Amino acid sequence: MTKLSRDVIVINELGLHARSAARIAEIARKANYNVWVIKGKKKVEASSILDILTLESPKGSKITVKIDDKSDLGVLDDIVKQFETRFGELS
């Protein structure tokens, strides 16, 4: 069975802010099905920058990225990579 979600930690100093949310949304829009960003009990569509920002995720926050279909595994991997590389930020 293919895992359709991955947990990540926000490691960039500025947390999940507008630029990083925009990058997630840009990648999520390439998906064939819904992509979700989940923090605690709140689940939002990853294609919406504003929805992502409502999660209020500073550095150290635990986030789950979830896809609805295994055909979007590449999208999931690309979003997770953004978290792992601090969205290209130096600090």
Which residue ranges form the domains of the chain, and what is each CATH number? 5-88 (3.30.1340.10)
**Tokens describing residue 7:** 């947990």
pLDDT number for residue 20: 95
pLDDT number for residue 89: 82
Instruction: Encode pLDDT of 23-79 as tens digits.
Output: 999 999 999 999 999 999 999 999 999 999 999 999 999 999 999 999 999 999 999
How far is 83 from 9, CA to CA, in rounded Å?
7
Which residues are the active-site residues? 17
Q: What is the 3-state secondary structure (H, E, C) of the chain?
A: CCCCEEEEECCCCCCCCHHHHHHHHHHHCCCCCCEEEEECCEEEECCCHHHHHCCCCCCCCEEEEEECCHHHHHHHHHHHHHHHCHHHCCC
Residues constituting the chain:
91
